[in-house]
Amino acid sequence: MSTRNLSSKNEFIRQVRKQKGLIIIAAPFFIYFFIFSYLPLWGLTMAFQNYKPQFSFFEQEWVGLRHFKNLFTDPDFYRVMRNTLGMSIINLALGFITAIGFALLINELTGKLYGFKRVVQTISYMPHFLSWIIVCGLVSNVLAMDDGILNELLLAFGLIKEKIHFMGRPDLFWWIVGFTNVWKSMGWNSIIYLAAITSIDPALYEAAAIDGYGRFGRMWHVTLPGIKSTIIILLILNAGWILNAGFEIQYILGTNGMVLDVSETIDIFVLKRGFGRTGGFAFGTAAGMFKSVVSAVVLILCNKIAGWLEEEKLV
Amino acid sequence: MKKAKILALLMAVAMIVAVLAACAAPPATDSSSGTPATPTPKQDTQTTEPADKKPEPITFTMFVAGPGEAPPASNKIVQKIKEITGVTIDFEFLVGDMEQKVGIMIASGDYPDFIGAGQARGRFLNAGSFAALDDYLPKYPNLWKHYEPYLDTLRSISADNKIYILDIWGRQYWLNDGQDDFYEGDYNGPAFWIQKDVLAWDGYSHPVKLDDFFDLLERYYKEHPTIDGQPTLPFEIHSQDWRSFCLKNAPQHLIGGRNEGDVVVHPDTLKVEIYQNKWYARDYYKKLNEVFKKGMIHPETFTRNYDQYLSVISTGRVLAMFDQQWNFQDGESVLVAEGKINRTYVPLGLSYDGTKYAYNRVRNEGIIGGNGMGISVKCKNIERAMEFMDALLREDVHRLMYWGIEGEDYYVDANGRYRRTPEQKANFDNPDWRLANAGAVIGDQFPKLEGRYSNGNACSPGNQPEERLENQFPYDKEFYQKYGFYSKSDFLPLIDHPGYPEVWSIFSTMEEDNIAKPIFDQITDLQNRYLPGVIMADDFDAAWEEYVKRYDSIDYPALEREIERQIQMRLKKK
């Protein structure tokens, strides 16, 4: 036993010596991840303390799972979970459908329309680079009651009789968030599908044409199956973000009493409780930790499901 | 081979340093947990250094937990002050939500040199962000003179009875020559603020009842559906974040209370009562509901953020609102700059029964404790910081900040009085000019003189009586004359101070884990969430009942008892 240990130890040292160059190259990344991704995990201990910033780690009072108990008995927690999941699902569904649909449609612009395609594509992904502050400013201007273009248009076409107070309607808020996300990221998200489409064998299209499929037939039977694996991988990746329904837009547009009930997401909840007046750094940490755990579980689960369906897996 | 070894060593060192830095980041400094830093013997000699010696330049950072804009470095007063003291202040004013900004600052322990505590005083205090100044104060003559009568008040707000926050308002200097009353500043507290034009249009009326007030707004609105081509907004209710006091605080005044914040204190028994579920709150919101149904409150008032609120005020089409003047003055000063004096505001002390109430026009009681700024535990040079503040209290430096440079910004007449020409005053009325050329932006954040200089002049142009009278806009002069008033303050009676600080200020210095805090958060949350809906409800009574039902499920009597205890404690400490 001891000799085996010794030999494996020697073996290890020999390996290290042999791969010294590689280790040195890898070191900066190791250090980077260690400092920025692993060291901060230490802060999670706060979730189990009655944390007070003026005391050092050793002076903190340990309280076990008290913060988690408070979290799960907090009625607000269920409200923000509902909001987060609601907006997240809307975002996911709308995001996927529009990005794929857009990619399919724009892919059909070929030949003489190729220049037009590029223009459309460029314009459509530009909003991705705008800051949420600007986007939210635009949204609240477009949806305003005084001189808001949407209200004016709806009035002009006789679709409504009275101006709608979009920003104060709790039933519309999730959809405003959803469609703003579509506007902002549809073009950008479609790029990856367009890239996937280009890798489809053109012969398949010719064969489909010979078989008598029209444009929509080819889209349905050739293009979509051709990018199925991309779609599934992206779906798995995005499912891991299911508790990230966004932060900025809800924070900027949703902090008024009229839509507060439906606008607060778990991120805002963590921020408010963690850094807000009650000063519950510990409580906020607990809520944030819960979120990370759920995200990880969902990601693994989706990956498993994809495996059962014998589709592409992420890992 | 050797090179690789050195590289690896460097990496290892870098890593250790980085790890150490990361570990040191938690704000666990010893000085914050109680024992104040004792002054070094060196600084005793520092104050006696010859005045003509050029001070070493130093830059202090300052966070101000309130709105504002930092002056450009080219500001002439900023430069003068730098010449005199050697100090440059690098301001960071609050943008966005205060609680979160402050929370992050505390969590990181990354404090600037100065902290303008504002409403966040309690959180900074409890987190041990301030250096104790007890041992420093006596060494600086101006500061000592400024605070010596109030040392107990300054100490009363901290758990360990030390001085952490220096009040920046409230210390007044009077000459007791029978003239002092003329130097009282303009009222800028809570009231129903109404455009002068509305009152003038009504034959210079002076509504006292809440019903008459809204009746007047309605009549005016009917005849003036637009102002300067844009739709008139008869009554605005601002409700964002901590500024939701505009939404919530009126009922306490309508029954004659001072601005305590979220409670009413019975003047004789000192019993404390939460009022957002009481009859006088219901009647107010019911009135608002009625007015809303008449189309006099724009639904967007509840979704406007602070900037949008200021911007509608600056268009001159908001007839009235419940607010505190300092909160909307940035919007109002645009109106002044554009010469729309008839669209600026005067305060009304409304009531239900026709009594004329003072609201917050309370005789000054000096320093209230906790209403100011402090030096952080991370301050790079406390002696220089104190020296700087001491210099700001010199009359000549103070005059620079608030009056400007003699001959440029004001002149001295034959009687030794400070005066300004109409152009000089016009400059001061222009917010852009002020930012680039005046020093008040520094002075406002630090301890300052109020009242009168030793030569009898007012400590700021706004309080110089002849200035106020002579340079009053012709519109204002005529307007006030119709009422027999001297300034807008006279719309409210003046009452004596009840002897305990306003409850909101008690509240903001409470311990972080005080039982009252979570209860307070719950009711704040409930109010912010429900009240706009109540005001806009089709069926007011049903909405109100639902709201009160939720309210009653909160243990608010515990908060009332706790505040009663706190008030008694402060009265005893005095």
Find the mean pLDDT for residues B470-482.
88
- Least CA distance to A285: which residue of chain B? B107
**What is the rounded (10 degree) CA torsion for B241, B164, B377, B439?**
70
Answer yes or no: is pLDDT of B4 > 80.
no
pLDDT of residue B111: 95
Mark whether B86 and B213 lie in a shared domain: no
H or E segment to which residue A36 belongs = none
Quote the domain boundaries for residue B345. Answer: 190-360+474-500
More confident call, B497 vs B298: B298
Q: B30 pLDDT exceeds 80? A: no
Verify that B205 and B168 share a domain, yes or no.
Answer: no
Q: Is A260 on the interface with B (CB under 8 A)?
A: yes
In a domain, B527, yes or no: no
Among A263, A275, A281, A283, the strongest candidate for a mutation testing the B interface, having the largest count of B CBs within 10 A, is A275
CA angle centred on A66, ends A62 and A71, rounded to 5°: 140
Min Cα–Cα distance to chain A from B399, Å = 38
Hey, is the C-beta of A44 within 8 angstroms of any chain B C-beta?
A: no
- pLDDT, average across residues B339-359: 94
Q: What confidence category does residue A307 fall into, taking pLDDT thresholds of 50, 70 and 90? A: confident
- Of A243 and B323, the structure prediction assigns the larger pLDDT to B323
CB contact under 8 A, B4 and A272: no
Write the CB contacts of B452 (distance below 8 Å, at least 6 apart in sequence). Answer: B173, B174, B175, B180, B183, B458, B459
Q: What is the DSSP letter of B38?
A: P
The predicted structure's pLDDT at residue B26: 40
Q: Which amino acid is at B346?
A: V
Q: How confident is the model at residue A115 (pLDDT cuts 50, 70, 90)?
A: confident
Average pLDDT for chain A:
87
Across B172-184, average pLDDT: 83
B565, part of any domain: no
**Smallest Cα distance from A59 to chain B, Å:** 10
Looking at the fold, whether B168 and B296 belong to one and the same domain comes out as no
**Looking at residues A33-40, what average pLDDT do you find?**
90
**What is the pLDDT, as a whole number, of residue A126?**
92
A209-213, B30-34, B444-448 — most confident range:
B444-448
**Minimal Cα–Cα distance from B432 to chain A, Å?**
25
Alpha helices in B338-454 (DSSP H): 382-392, 395-402, 422-429, 431-437, 440-443
Name the residue of chain B whose CA is nearest to A143's CA. B300
Which residues of chain B neighbour A275 with C-beta distances below 8 Å?
Answer: 99-100, 102-104, 107
Are the beta carbons of B439 and B402 closer than 8 angstroms?
Answer: yes
Contacts of B143 (CB under 8 A, 6+ apart): B137, B166, B386, B389, B390, B393, B447
Residue B327 pLDDT exceeds 60: yes
| Interface pTM, i.e. ipTM | 0.72
For residue A215, what pLDDT is reported? Answer: 86
**Is residue B482's pLDDT more than 90?**
yes
What's the mean pLDDT when you consider all of chain B? 86
Mean predicted confidence (pLDDT) in B321-341: 93
CA distance A21 to chain B (A): 8
Label residue B402 left, alpha or beta by phi (over 0 means left) and psi (-120 to 50 means alpha): alpha
For residues B549-574, average pLDDT: 85
Structure tokens belonging to residue A292: 């990370």
What are the residue ranges of helices labelled H in B120-256?
121-126, 141-147, 151-156, 196-201, 210-223, 245-248, 250-254
Residue A55 has pLDDT above 90, yes or no: no
Q: Which of A36-45, A273-282, B546-555, B561-570 has the highest mean pLDDT?
A: B546-555
How distant is the Cα of A290 from the closest Cα of chain B, in angstroms?
20
- Written as six digits, the tokens of A234 are 């992206």
| B203 and B342, same domain (yes or no) | yes
Q: What does DSSP say about strands B166-167 and B263-265: parallel, antiparallel, or unpaired?
A: unpaired
What are the two backbone dihedrals, phi and then psi, of residue B466, each rounded to the nearest 5 degrees?
A: -70, -30
Domain-embedded: residue B549? no
Q: Is there a single domain that holds both residue B264 and residue B120?
A: no
- Using DSSP's 3-state secondary structure scheme, residue A257 falls into coil
Contact: B533, A275; criterion CB under 8 Å: no
B103/A274 touch (CB, cutoff 8 Å), yes or no:
yes
If one counts the domains in chain B, the total is 2
**Mean pLDDT on A151-158:** 92
All residues of chain B having their beta carbon less than 8 Å from the beta carbon of residue A274 are 103
Q: What is the average per-residue pLDDT within A114-136?
A: 91
Residue B538 falls inside a structural domain: no
> Which pLDDT tens digit goes with each residue over B389-417?
999 999 999 999 999 999 999 999 999 99
Q: Is there a single domain that holds both residue B342 and residue B488?
A: yes
pLDDT of residue B49: 44
Q: Which domains does chain A have, with CATH numbers?
A: 2-64 (no CATH), 67-308 (1.10.3720.10)
pLDDT number for residue B286 = 96
Same domain for B349 and B382, yes or no, is no
Q: pLDDT confidence of B81, banded at 50, 70, 90?
A: very high
Express as a percent the part of chain A with pLDDT over 90: 35
Q: Are residues B123 and B236 in the same domain?
A: no
Q: Do B300 and A34 touch (CB under 8 A)?
A: no
Among candidates B8, B244, B530 on the partner chain, residue whose Cβ is nearest the Cβ of A24: B8
| Best residue of B121, B303, B308 to probe chain A, by most A CBs closer than 10 Å | B303
pLDDT of residue A59: 82
What integer is the mean pLDDT of B34-48?
40
pLDDT > 90 in chain B, percent: 57
A279 vs B33: CB contact, 8 Å cut-off? no
Express each pLDDT in B267-312 by its tens digit. Answer: 888 899 999 999 999 999 999 999 999 999 999 999 888 989 999 9
Quick one: closest CA in B to A24, which residue? B8
A55 interaction partners in chain B (CB closer than 8 Å): 28, 33
Inter-chain CB proximity B517 and A20 less than 8 Å = no
For residue range B126-155, list pLDDT tens digits in order. 888 999 999 999 999 999 999 999 998 898
Domain identity same for B457 and B399: yes
Domain membership flag for residue B409: yes
Average pLDDT over residues A86-94: 93
Residues B345, B395 within the same domain: no
Say whether B28 and A271 touch across the interface (CB within 8 A): no
Closest CB from B4, B28, B239 relative to A256: B239
Q: How far is A72 from chain B (nearest CA, A)?
A: 17
Q: Could you report the per-residue pLDDT of A247-278, keeping only the tens digit for each?
A: 889 988 888 888 888 999 999 888 887 776 55
* Whole-number pLDDT of residue B36: 40
Q: Are residues B389 and B330 in the same domain?
A: no
Chain B: nearest CA to A93, how far in angstroms?
A: 28
Q: Provide the shortest C-alpha distance from residue B1 to chain A (in Å).
A: 10
Residue B305: inside a domain:
yes
Q: Quick check: A168 and B512 CB within 8 A?
A: no
Per DSSP bridges, beta strands B450-451 and B172-173 are parallel
> Contact B403/B418 with Cβ under 8 angstroms?
yes
Q: What's the pLDDT score for residue B61? A: 96
Residue B544 has pLDDT above 90, yes or no: yes
CA-derived radius of gyration, chain A: 26
Nearest CA in chain A to B243: A256
| pLDDT, tens only, B503-525 | 887 777 777 677 888 888 888 88
B330 within some domain: yes
Per CB-CB distance under 8 Å, the chain B contacts of A144 are: 300
Min mean pLDDT across A169-173, A207-211, B22-26, B424-428 is at: B22-26
Residues β-bridged to residue B450: B172
Q: What is the pLDDT of residue A2?
A: 52
Alpha-carbon gap, residue B13 to B198, rounded angstroms: 73
**B337 plus B377 within the same structural domain:** no
With 60 as the cut, is the pLDDT of residue A111 above it? yes
pLDDT 10s digits, B5-26: 555 555 555 544 444 444 444 4
Over residues A74-89, mean pLDDT: 91
Instruction: Kindly report the CATH number assigned to the domain that includes residue B239.
Output: 3.40.190.10
Contact A257 B299 (CB under 8 A): no
> What pLDDT, on a 0 to 100 scale, did the predictor assign at position B501?
78
Q: Nearest Cβ partner of B299 from A53, A56, A168?
A: A168
Contact A74, A284 (CB under 8 A): no
Mean pLDDT to the nearest integer, A242-249? 88
| 3-class SS of residue B265 | strand
Lowest mean pLDDT among A165-169, B17-21, B181-185, B330-334: B17-21
In a domain, B116, yes or no: yes
Q: What is the pLDDT of residues B218-241, one digit of tens each?
A: 999 999 999 999 999 999 999 987
